[in-house]
Amino acid sequence: MAHAAVEAKAERFKTQHFMIRGRLFKGLQSGQMQLGSLADDERLKMILPQACCYCASRQFLTVDHLIPTSRGGENCGENLVWACRGCNSSKGARDALVWIAERGTFPPLLLLRRYLKIAVGLCQDRGVMHEPITNPPPMPFLFEAIPLSYPPPRTLCLWITDRDSSATADG
């Protein structure tokens, strides 16, 4: 929903965007739809500019775990992103979404999507997809860190490097 709104450069979320969300929700619930495969995100990682996924810096890049290994995050491709040394050390062993929220920013949508897919995958592996959210099972990520409401689409970006180019375009 947010992806479509940002691509259409919408000022605010409109009926058609809510319809996309509704259709995906029903599709996922009935099992007729699946979240896009993580392979798509791996492909994007190769196409998108090699830059820190948090601040777009191209310097002093290191490999960072979205969900830290110290919390049970896996040491595999989908959990690994580029981060500059500054962001990596500032983030430390915190969960990426927690750290981004602490800085008062909203994650780029493609980063959030990757994170959500990992979170859904972990829940599916552990058979807790139908557990009530009011009593979350112990997981390597924080349910509370997942944003439930989104700021207006014009303030969102798909990837951190888009934020750079839109800022330049706006003058």
Which residues in this chain contact Zn ion in the complex, by CB under 5 A? 52, 54-55, 57, 84, 87
> Smallest gap, in angstroms, from Cβ of residue 83 to Zn ion?
6
When the beta carbons of 20 and 90 are compared against Zn ion, the nearer one is 90
Q: What DSSP letter does each residue of 30-97 carry, written as one string?
A: HTS--PPPHHHHHHHHHHS-S--TTT---SSEEEEESS-GGGT--SSGGGEEEEEHHHHHHHTTS-HH
When the beta carbons of 88 and 123 are compared against Zn ion, the nearer one is 88
When the beta carbons of 100 and 145 are compared against Zn ion, the nearer one is 100
When the beta carbons of 64 and 78 are compared against Zn ion, the nearer one is 64
The 8-class DSSP code of residue 103 comes to: T
Question: Do 9 and 162 form a contact (C-beta atoms < 8 A)?
Answer: no
When the beta carbons of 87 and 118 are compared against Zn ion, the nearer one is 87
Q: Give the closest residue to 114 by CA, choosing from 86, 92, 87, 82.
A: 82
Distance CA 109, CA 156 (A): 7
> Smallest gap, in angstroms, from Cβ of residue 60 to Zn ion?
9
Distance CA 21, CA 17 (A): 7
> Smallest gap, in angstroms, from Cβ of residue 163 to Zn ion?
12
> Smallest gap, in angstroms, from Cβ of residue 100 to Zn ion?
11
> Smallest gap, in angstroms, from Cβ of residue 157 to Zn ion?
15
